[in-house]
A and B are shown apart, each in its own frame.
Chain A
Amino acid sequence: MLNQSVSEFIGDILQHIKYKKIHPYVVKELEDHIESLREDYEREGLDKEAAYLKAIEQMGDATPIGKGLHEMHKPKCEWSLIVLFTLLISIGLLALGVMKAHYPEGYGNYYLSKQLIFVILGSLGFWGCYFSNYKKLENNAILFYLIGIGIMIYNLLFGVRVNGVNRYLRVLFFTFSAIRLSIPFLVIGYIGFIRKWTSPKLKNVLTLGVLGGIPICLMMIVSSIKTGLLLGVVFTLSLTFHIIGKEYKGTKIKALVTLYGTLGAVVGLTFFRMIYGIEYRIERLRAFFNPEEDPLGYGYMYHVLKNIRENASVIGGEGLEGSLPAGEITTDMIFTFIVGSMGWLMGIVLMSVIALVIIRLFRAAMKIQESYGRLLTLSISTLFALQFIFNIAMNLGYTPIVGVGLPLVSYGGTALIVDMALLGLFMNVYRRKDLVLIMSQTTIGDV
């Protein structure tokens, strides 16, 4: 094929580009340029060899080209996000440490050491996903989806019962919250489906609706209405991102109207049936609107939380007078515990870090040009943003109390490990954003 000096020149460039998989794409582009120049010079009367040499000279020095291209295609790391994640985890650990100091005898002792183990396992998950290759997920969407469904069905049949509901899966010495564990699988699976089947065809719309509806219904049956809703919102927003994005070729407005019209009807009907079908749910909602009505029953939690918020000082632990609701205070209500035990200043620091994380996640996701990675990171960002915002609102008393934890901060093994793995995946997409783009275009050219 090419002449010796051209191969050497291109070799000198490639030597600087560490990531080998993109080499062929760089070579093709540069070869085309050099060949075009050579043709010009031959037309001007040079012989082939001289024309090649002149073309290489015209290209310039290999080193800056190679270094420049390497810079453009090397793995990228968004360090600010890693720092923010670490901060959130540290604040969570700090809170559990404070709890240990407050209640050295009781349950306070046990949370910190367990959470430390979860952080180590979560870090393994994070870095494992960080160094993986997210592009492999797309082709296995069905597998991921089935695993997610499988976990829920297994849980329904063989799960460990707590308060009359199957909640945990026991694997060797570990117990997992089945619902938390299934979320990432279902999200990864569903995003694959979205990319495959979003089109104006009725058949595809129905397929997506049914495939999205099954896990949501399953979750609601397993008693977790809020997780079902969370998943539903994430699915819907992922679909929305896909429709708004460049990949979707149909009429965007029409697709969005169809999506939200159908969804509104379905969700409205199911939701009202569920809420009004069961007595205790009404009671719980009433407790949110009038906690004083039933201060020892469903209103108790609202009452305690309100007390902690009102007694909390700017700095210090004045908010923790009186009794604490065990259990939930380390998980869903950890924000209130932090405000109560360390003061509002710490609460505001925590809220600021969370706000930064949300902004940074979406900004990083928007920088990704490759369409699958972009949708995946947008969906992960949405999943986290919803949980962060809902949990804080709940702790501040703006929403009813339902079990939604504060990602990375709340105590809890499965949630922490799953969340860290998902964030590792997010960082993996970001890391590879400039590697995969150059490789994803051949398919466009082949069409």
Chain B
Amino acid sequence: MAINKELLKGTTTLLVLQLLKEGDKYGYEMTRELERRSDNVFTLKEGTLYPILHNLENNGMIEAYWEDTELARKRKYYRITKKGLKLLDEKKLEWLAYSKGVGKILGGGVCVEPICI
């Protein structure tokens, strides 16, 4: 099922930070990982990831560094900072509270990790 763009927008930051918490990644790698782990629910327009990444970088949530690839291309990797880890924790709590609330309103049958209503 394709997810509404607006719905995706609000959570991309949270998901990106979570991915980077698990290890340094470059943009393309993140989009593949999002697709794979969400069973293809998150198929975002991949270019829109970059303004988000650059914004996080400008605010010191993540840092970037370039590395050479075996294909003679330069690749820009991102790494989460301490500040970014803090933001991730906040965003996680916010998301859990939000999704729990939505779940409660929609009522039975809606299952929200980690709480099933």
Asked if chains A and B come from one complex, the reply is yes
Binding site for B on A (CB under 8 A): 13, 26, 28-33, 35-37, 58-62, 64-65, 68-69, 71-73, 367, 369, 433-434, 437-438, 441-442, 444-446
Q: How far is the CA of A26 from the CA of B75 in the complex (A)?
A: 11
Binding site for A on B (CB under 8 A): 26-28, 44-48, 50-52, 54-55, 57-60, 64-69, 71, 73-76
List 20 contacting pairs A-B, 8 Å CB cutoff, sorted by A.
A26-B50, A28-B73, A28-B76, A30-B47, A31-B73, A32-B28, A35-B71, A35-B73, A37-B46, A59-B45, A60-B45, A60-B47, A61-B47, A65-B48, A65-B50, A68-B51, A367-B60, A369-B58, A438-B57, A442-B66
Contacting pair A32 B67 (CB below 8 A): no
> Known: A60-B47, A441-B65. Is A28-B74 also a contact (CB below 8 A)?
yes
> Known: A434-B58, A441-B66. Is A33-B28 also a contact (CB below 8 A)?
yes
Q: Which residue of B lies closest to A76 (CB)?
A: B58
Q: How far is the CA of A445 from the CA of B69 in the complex (A)?
A: 11
Q: Which residue of B lies closest to A67 (CB)?
A: B51
Nearest-CB distance from A37 to chain B (Å)?
7
Contacting pair B27 A33 (CB below 8 A): yes
Query: Which residues of B sit under 8 angstroms from A62, Cβ to Cβ?
Result: 47
Q: How far is the CA of A438 from the CA of B62 in the complex (A)?
A: 12
Interchain CB contact (< 8 A) of B65 among A30, A32, A35, A444: A444
Interchain CB contact (< 8 A) of B54 among A28, A31, A64, A438: A438
Nearest-CB distance from B90 to chain A (Å)?
18
Contacting pair A445 B50 (CB below 8 A): no
Nearest-CB distance from A431 to chain B (Å)?
13
Interchain CB contact (< 8 A) of B47 among A59, A433, A441, A442: A59
Nearest-CB distance from B67 to chain A (Å)?
6
Query: Which residues of B sit under 8 angstroms from A35, Cβ to Cβ?
Result: 71, 73
Q: How far is the CA of A434 from the CA of B51 in the complex (A)?
A: 12
Q: Total number of A-B contacts with CB less than 8 angstroms?
A: 86
Apart from the given pairs A369-B58, A438-B64, 4 other A-B contacts in the complex at a CB distance below 8 Å: A13-B47, A68-B51, A433-B58, A442-B66
Q: How far is the CA of A59 from the CA of B27 in the complex (A)?
A: 11
Contacting pair A72 B47 (CB below 8 A): no
Q: How far is the CA of A61 from the CA of B50 in the complex (A)?
A: 13
Query: Which residues of B sit under 8 angstroms from A433, Cβ to Cβ?
Result: 58
Query: Which residues of B sit under 8 angstroms from A367, Cβ to Cβ?
Result: 59-60
Query: Which residues of B sit under 8 angstroms from A437, Cβ to Cβ?
Result: 57-58
Contacting pair A29 B46 (CB below 8 A): no
> Known: A33-B27, A65-B47. Is A445-B73 also a contact (CB below 8 A)?
no
4 closest Cβ contacts across the A-B interface? Answer: A60-B45, A445-B66, A68-B51, A59-B47
Query: Which residues of A sit under 8 angstroms from B48, Cβ to Cβ?
Result: 60, 64-65, 68
Q: Which residue of B lies closest to A40 (CB)?
A: B32
Q: Which residue of A lies closest to B49 (CB)?
A: A33
Q: How far is the CA of A148 from the CA of B115 in the complex (A)?
A: 66
Query: Which residues of B sit under 8 angstroms from A58, Cβ to Cβ?
Result: 45-46
Q: How far is the CA of A441 from the CA of B78 in the complex (A)?
A: 11
Q: How far is the CA of A433 from the CA of B60 in the complex (A)?
A: 11
Q: How far is the CA of A293 from the CA of B107 in the complex (A)?
A: 82
Contacting pair B58 A37 (CB below 8 A): no
Query: Which residues of A sit under 8 angstroms from B26, Cβ to Cβ?
Result: 32
Q: How far is the CA of A247 from the CA of B67 in the complex (A)?
A: 20
Query: Which residues of B sit under 8 angstroms from A65, Cβ to Cβ?
Result: 47-48, 50-51
> Known: A35-B73, A36-B28, A437-B58. Is A69-B50 also a contact (CB below 8 A)?
yes
Q: Which residue of B lies closest to A65 (CB)?
A: B47
Contacting pair A72 B67 (CB below 8 A): no
Query: Which residues of A sit under 8 angstroms from B51, Cβ to Cβ?
Result: 65, 68-69, 71-72
Query: Which residues of A sit under 8 angstroms from B47, Cβ to Cβ?
Result: 13, 30, 33, 59-62, 65
Query: Which residues of A sit under 8 angstroms from B58, Cβ to Cβ?
Result: 72, 369, 433-434, 437
Contacting pair B54 A32 (CB below 8 A): no
Contacting pair B45 A73 (CB below 8 A): no
Contacting pair A32 B73 (CB below 8 A): yes
Q: How far is the CA of A13 from the CA of B48 in the complex (A)?
A: 11
Q: How far is the CA of A13 from the CA of B64 in the complex (A)?
A: 21
Query: Which residues of A sit under 8 angstroms from B75, Cβ to Cβ?
Result: 32
> Known: A445-B65, A445-B67. Is A72-B54 also a contact (CB below 8 A)?
yes
Q: Which residue of A lies closest to B71 (CB)?
A: A35
Contacting pair A61 B45 (CB below 8 A): yes
Residue of B47, B60, B73, B74 most packed against chain A (CB within 10 A): B47
Contacting pair A37 B28 (CB below 8 A): yes
Query: Which residues of B sit under 8 angstroms from A446, Cβ to Cβ?
Result: 66
Query: Which residues of A sit under 8 angstroms from B54, Cβ to Cβ?
Result: 69, 72-73, 438
Nearest-CB distance from B94 to chain A (Å)?
22
Q: How far is the CA of A64 from the CA of B65 in the complex (A)?
A: 25
Query: Which residues of A sit under 8 angstroms from B59, Cβ to Cβ?
Result: 367, 369
